[in-house]
Structure 1
C-alpha cells in the first residue's frame, strides 16, 4: 500500500471518529423536521374506482423524491364505521394502496394499525376508502408510519450513517424529547428531513422547520 492510500484511510478513520465523538458530546448532526399528517397512496386501479374511469391524480404541491401532494382527497372508514374526511392523496400512484395515520387516528377509527416502514403493509390493518365516484375496501394497508430521516448520500456521509441504520435524535427545546428507533433512508432524490407524525410532534412541541440532532448511531 502506497503512502497516498495510507493517508487517505487515516483521514477517513479520523473523520469517522470525530463524527462519533461530536454526536456523543452533544453536538450531533442537525436535521430539519417535517411533520407528516395522515395521507394515502393509491394504485391507479383504485384512483379510477374512487374518482372515475381514466382519472389521473392532479398535482397540488411538489414533495421530495418525485412525490407530490395531490388535489384529491378521500374519506377513510374504520371497522366501527368511524370516519375521517379530507385525507389527502399523495402521488404518483404506487403498486400497493397504503393509508398512513397517527396512533390517535387509529383509536378514533377503531383500527389496530401497526407501526411500519412505508411499503411494509403485510398483515396491517384493514380500512375502507371512499371517494366521489366509488369505494375501496382494503383487507390490509393501514399503518402508523415508522419515524425516519430522509437523506441524500452526501448527508449520510456527513452524518456517518448508512441506509437502513437506526439512530436516536434529540429535540433541544423545552420538552427535550429523545426519539429512539429512527430509521435512516438514503436516496439521491431525497432532501434532508426527519418525518414524524402529528402525535409525535404535538407531544414533543415540535413543528415543521424545527431541527433535531442525531445523538447516537
Structure 2
C-alpha cells in the first residue's frame, strides 16, 4: 500500500514538473532570403513561381530550389537559398559572421523590422535587384501556437530565457516569443547560436517562463 501511494506521489510530481515547463524543438536557420513577386520576376524571369525543394515546419513555408548571390560594396556570398512563398517585402537574414564577410553593419532585429537596416544587391540568373534596406541578423525567437500560448500564459512579444542541457549547455537570454494561431511550436536559432550549444535540428530546449 505504501509503495502504491509513493508511486502515485512520484507520478504526480513528474506531471507537475512537466506541466510547468515548456520544451520546444529547435530549428537551425542558415542564411536565407525572402523576396516579393516583383523581385522574383526580375531575378528569375517574369511570372516565375518559386519551386519547392523541401517544406519547413511553419505552415505553408518551404525552402525553394531558387538561390541568389548577395553582393555588397565590399563582399559577396554566393548561392543563398530563398525561403518561399513570396512575401510582401524583401528580407535578407544572415549571421553575424556573414555580416562581417559582407562588411556590413547588420543589426539584430525581429523579422519585418527594417528601420535603419542596410541594403544589398540580390543577383539571380535573369537579373539583379538592389534593395535599400532589409538585411538583418534575426533575433532568436520561438513560434508558439495560440492554444499553447494560452495554456502557458504566454503573450505575443514576451521575452523569455531558454535553457540548453548537455556538455555545451548554456542559457539563451532575450528570446522573443511570437504567438499566432497557425504557428508550429519551434525555436529558431541561426547556425552560430546553435553551434555554441552543440544543437541540431530537432533537439529540445526548455523555456524559462
- Using structure 2 for the length normalisation, give the TM-score: 0.87
Q: Secondary structure at the match of 2:119?
A: strand
What does residue range 1-217 of structure 1 map to in structure 2 within 5 Å? 28-63=21-56, 64-80=58-74, 82-215=75-208, 217=209
The equivalent of 2:13 in structure 1 is none
Q: Which moved more, 1:99-108 or 1:156-165?
A: 156-165
Q: CA deviation at 1:160?
A: 2.7
Q: Secondary structure at the match of 1:144?
A: strand
Instruction: Find the aligned partners of 2:144 and 2:51 in 1 and give their Cα distance.
Output: 27
Q: Secondary structure at the match of 1:203?
A: helix
RMSD of equivalent CA atoms: 1.7
Unaligned runs of 5+ in 1: 1-20
Q: Secondary structure at the match of 1:46?
A: helix
Greater than 2 Å deviation, 4+ residue runs: 157-160
- Using structure 1 for the length normalisation, give the TM-score: 0.84
